[in-house]
Amino acid sequence: MIARWSALILAGGAGRRFGGGKLLADLAGAPVIRRVADRVAGVGFAEVIAITGAEDAAIARALSGADLSITPAPDWAEGMAASLRTGIAALDPDSEGVCVFLGDMPLVPLELCPPLVAAAVQAGYAARPRCKGKPGHPVAFTRAAFGDLITLEGDRGATALLAAHGDAVAYVETADSGALLDIDTPSDLAAAVAAWKA
C-alpha cells in the first residue's frame, strides 16, 4: 500500500524560535533536513517531495543527491498551510494518499508508516501516531482529505481538520518519543543529537 502513497516533507519555515537555520543545523554529521530526507526516502513511497521556502537555496544544496524532488512554496511566509497547499498541488495525480513529515522531526518512527496508512484507509480520512497521550507525526491523509488540505490558511497546519473529522481519524499508539521530538530550540537539537547517537 505504501508504494501507492506519496510523502511530503515540510521544510518551508524560517525557524525563528531556533534563531534561524535549524533545518541546516548539524545532526551527527549531516544537516537536520538531510537526515529527515534520507530516512523518508528509504520507506518505499511512490514519491517524496520536499517543500521549501525561507532557506530554499541552502536547503536545496543540503538535499542535493537525495532521492526526492523539491518544490518551493512561494507564499511560505504565511505559515505551514502554504507548504501543505503547495505540497498537495505537487502530488502525482494517481497518489492514493500522503504521509506528511516535518523537516524538523528527524527521529519519527518510520516503522509506523505502513500501519498509519492502513489505519487511515480504514478510518476514511487520516491517521496519526499517539505517544503518551499526545498526537505526533507523521500524519497519513487519504485522498479524501486532499480537497480540505488544499484550502488551508495560516500557520496552524491540519490540526483543525483532524479535529473536525473525529471518527474518520485513527490513532496508532507508539512508545517511541521520536513521534513528538521536534527541533524548535538549540536544546531540542542537543536532545535530538543525543537520541540519534543512542
Determine the structural domain holding residue 22 and report its residue range: 2-197
How does pLDDT run across 130-160, given as a tens digit for each residue? 999 999 999 999 999 999 999 988 777 788 8
**28 has pLDDT over 70:** yes
Q: Which of 109, 160, 114, 106 is nearest to 2 (CA)?
A: 114
CA separation for the pair 94, 197 (Å, rounded): 38
Among the residue ranges 11-20, 75-84, 105-114, 180-189, the one predicted with the least confidence is 11-20
CA separation for the pair 32, 23 (Å, rounded): 5
pTM of the shown model: 0.95
User: Total structural domains in the chain?
Assistant: 1
pLDDT at 15: 63
Kindly indicate the confidence band of residue 53, based on its pLDDT and cuts at 50, 70 and 90.
Answer: confident
CA separation for the pair 149, 89 (Å, rounded): 10
Helix (H, G, I), strand (E, B) or coil at 37: helix
Look up the CATH number of the domain holding residue 40: 3.90.550.10
